[in-house]
Copies of this chain bind each other. A is one copy, B any other.
Amino acid sequence: MTERKASFARAPVELPDEAVQAERFEKARSAQASAVLEDYVELIDDLLASGGEARPTDIARRLGVSHATATKSIGRLKREGLATSKAYRGVFLTPDGHALAARVRARHRLVVDLLIAVGVPPECAERDAEGLEHHVSDVALAAFARYLKR
């Protein structure tokens, strides 16, 4: 419009290498693909540890989805060897599922702690962490731990 070729309305944009950029997006997509599974195993593990039972209806209510949706995702957990269940009984985690839950919970806490440490209000930290946690790599996680220990 009013902008001419020689104006410097914006710094010249330097794009990353194509392959590098593609790899970053692919990583983000793959992290997202496991996000639902991670939330389920973490929640199931919490329910089992706190009360004793992890029933589809409870899981659904806490996740804010319909029980049909929860049941379908639990089916995926079972297909992937993370959970077990029998009709009309609660859901349980396999050793693999339990191990995943432990990692996911530790990561969740570390993310919350880091957010709070840099000045994010606690409830906001908890809320944001629920989405952020699935995209924090082990390397970044280690950096967070170092930072918090400083």
User: Chain A residues in contact with chain B, CB under 8 A?
Assistant: 10, 12-16, 18, 21-28, 31-32, 35, 39, 46-47, 49-50, 61-65, 114-115, 118-121, 124-128, 130-132, 134-137, 139-140, 143-144, 146-147
Complex partner residue of A24 from B15, B126, B140, CB under 8 angstroms: B126
Chain B residue, CB-CB nearest to A124? B139
Verify B118–A27 contact, CB threshold 8 A: no
**Who on chain B is nearest to A15 by CB?**
B50
- Report B-chain residues with C-beta under 8 Å of the C-beta of A147: 118-119
User: Which secondary structure characterizes the binding site on chain A?
Assistant: helix
Cα A13 to Cα B124 in complex, Å, equals 21
- A28 and B130 in contact (CB under 8 A), knowing A47-B15, A125-B140, A146-B119? yes
Interface centre among A14, A16, A24, by most B CB within 10 Å? Answer: A24
In the complex, A108→B80 CA distance in Å? 33
Shortest distance in angstroms between A25's beta carbon and chain B's nearest beta carbon?
A: 5
Number of copies: 2
Residue on B with the closest CB to A145?
B119
A27 with B143, Cβ < 8 A, contacts A13-B50, A62-B18 known = no
A146→B12 CA distance, assembly (Å): 27
User: Contacts of A35 on B, CB cut-off 8 Å?
Assistant: 28, 32
When chains A and B are docked, how far (Å) is the Cα of A131 from the Cα of B143?
Answer: 17
User: Which residue on chain B has the smallest CB distance to residue A28?
Assistant: B131
- Contact partners of A139 in chain B: CB under 8 A: 120-121, 124
